[in-house]
Structure 1
């Protein structure tokens, strides 16, 4: 499942995100969604979220 649709992501979802400084390298960070920061229903680069540890980034992959 990709992270481009807001409907797929809810607080508590386990995801891989890419942080702003890691966009060139596509280094992924794993975590649990705390807040959804993107208001639109979808975004081509991934829905922006804040993880439970405070890290902000765009969802690249949802872990089932």
Structure 2
């Protein structure tokens, strides 16, 4: 599944995100989705989420 579509992402899912400061090097952070922050149905760079750890980033992989 792709992280570009809001319908694929639900709270409680395990995902890998790229945080704003890591966009250039592509370092991924893994965690559990707490909130969806992007309101549109899709986004070319990934749906922005907040993890249970409090980190915010765009979904690159759904695990």
TM interval, shorter chain, is: over 0.9
With structure 1 as the length reference, what TM-score do the two structures score?
0.97
What are the ranges of 5 or more consecutive residues in structure 2 without an aligned counterpart?
none
The 1-side partners of 2:24 and 2:13 are apart by 25
Name the structure 2 match of 1:41: 41
Q: TM-score, normalised by structure 2?
A: 0.99
Alignment of 1:8-47 (within 5 A): 8-47=8-47
Could you list the runs of 5+ residues in structure 1 that have no partner in the other structure?
A: none
Give the whole-Å Cα distance in 1 for the aligned partners of 2:30 and 2:53.
Answer: 10
RMSD: 0.4
